[in-house]
Amino acid sequence: MSNYALITGSSKGIGMAMAKSLAKRGFNLILVARSEDQLQDLKKQFSETYGVKVEIFPTDLSVPGSAQKVAAWCADNSFPVSVLINNAGYGVWGNFENIALDEQLNMMQLNMNTVVEFTYYMLPILKKQKQSYILNVASTAAYQALPTFSLYAASKAFILSFTRGL
């Protein structure tokens, strides 16, 4: 298979598990996360174990415009991306008024805006493929209001609604 799957937040956890699963199925990978060392280790592991091509793009996706840079890099390198997995995200736990606003806004940037940016900028590449898929990772928190996890739950409700609308 020559198509690529781009997975954000792929250096550990669910993102890494999805990358491994896709590599087992023969997908080439584009791994995006903050830790270059972890990405390099996964590149070596997946390419040697599964015989797939693995590209890495270490970046902090909470920085506005980072998704556009990754998408431009994919286009410039003519990677035939047919799967986009928007997995990167995190939650801030605690009473709303006790958590620094900057930290909460950073979480919202990553959990919502980056997903929208990736989807927007990757769609032209995805639409060139015979079949393509977008998987936006949400949470069961999307279905409930959580007093000490309110903005996280709201960000995941946004992802659920946005994805259903697509």
Task: Please indicate whether residue 143 is annotated as part of the active site.
Answer: no
CA distance 64 to 113: 8
52 pLDDT band, cuts 50/70/90, is very high
Per-residue pLDDT of 55-95, as tens digits, reads 999 999 999 999 999 999 999 999 999 999 999 999 999 99
Which fold, 4-165?
A: Rossmann fold (3.40.50)
Residue of 50, 90, 143, 152 marked active site: 152
Cβ pair 127, 78 in contact under 8 A: no
Q: What is the pTM of this model?
A: 0.95
CA distance 36 to 11: 9
Longest CA–CA separation in the chain, Å? 50
Backbone angles phi, psi at 51, to 5 degrees: 65, 30
2 pLDDT band, cuts 50/70/90, is confident
